[in-house]
Amino acid sequence: MQENKIIKLTVRDVRFPTSLEQHGSDAMHTDPDYSVAYVVLETDSDAALKGYGLTFTVGRGTEIGWTRKRSNSAGDSSHSECCLGFMGAGGGQEEQMLKEGYPAYTTSCAWLGYTDQQLTQLCSEALAQGWTKFKVKVGADLQDDIRRCSLIRKLIGPNNTLMIDANQRWDVNEAITWVTKLAEFHPLWIEEPTCPDDVLGHASISKALAPLGIGVATGEQCHNRVMFKQFLQAAALQFVQIDSCRVGSVNENLAIILMAAKFNVPVCPHAGGVGLCELVQHLILFDYISVSASLNNRMCEYVDHLHEHFESPTIIRNAHYIPPKDPGYSCEMLEESVQKHQYPDGEVWRAIEQQGKQ
């Protein structure tokens, strides 16, 4: 096998102005611009072989990834076997995924900055499209959370699934008190109720909320498998939320998936952002086909924006992720999109700057 050398590395700061319409808004990020540090590796291959990677941020953090010239998600060429190659291992599970797909839930309907009119319209549209699992952002104001959760529960009905997400907003006692007040809406889980590093705090919250039938979901901010090991050992979470970019890419996430299986805790990945749905779909397919072989209490987050900027965008059918057929890790972006949204000199950002001067 011929060995190829990397001859060029390009890092670009790509940002999308999602804050203009409050997409992505939550209790900790009121005006995020969903962004990536986007990396392209070029080789001396005769076939012009390239690798693509990205690390998602909410805008201001991109400078760190850009300056360090690194991406936690490895490239297109190096993962064609690693990801889709798993598909041969599961027999019936593989066939089921190709036919039915992997269950998804939507976060697109209930960002914290959305109006009641938006919530009503988006939930109604999602229900018509077959969605049965919905996540609501909470944590800024208790009475507002009660009102919004009441509205959404009435819209989706008693039999569909509701989750709530506080994005680390509370301390431990506040989380217990606040979620107890929201228990009447029967959420399946409270996501990121407190500081993502506080293992024992999450354990206390889990213990307190167990009688209410509410689990704790966390992990999107956990930076390595050791953190997940501690959460699992302490019974501090009931839903493992891996993130495709937060830890050391595929290998580290596979270790976490295997640990979750050992502790019999379902993996329900964090996604959305820029490219996270495209990346994490490979991990959930591996989990089901080669590890868990179960869909009990398992689902993957989906956010319906920015997929049009990718060469191989995520495919959703009947509220399920459909396995990708293109080789690779699905993180190659369209060059036109990269150029338009490159910060701060891309066409989109120049137009915003010019509008601000008027």
Helix (H, G, I), strand (E, B) or coil at 173: helix
* Angstrom distance (rounded) from CA 195 to CA 218: 10
The answer to whether residue 270 is catalytic is yes
CB burial class (10 A; 0-12, 13-18, 19+) of residue 48? exposed
Catalytic one of 23, 29, 202, 270: 270
Q: How many helices (H) and strands (E) does the chain have?
A: 11, 12
- Distance between CA atoms of residues 314 and 336, nearest Å: 19
Rounded CA separation 332/191 (Å): 30
Tell me which of 29, 135, 137, 282 is the catalytic residue: 137
Question: How far apart, in whole angstroms, are the C-alpha atoms of residue 15 and residue 62?
Answer: 9
Consecutive H or E run containing 125: helix 116-128
Of 296, 304, 324, 254, which Cα lies nearest the Cα of 97? Answer: 324
DSSP string covering 135-164: EEE--S-HHHHHHHHHHHHHHH-SSSEEEE
Active site residue 137: yes
Query: 18 in helix, strand or coil?
Result: helix
Catalytic residues: 137, 270
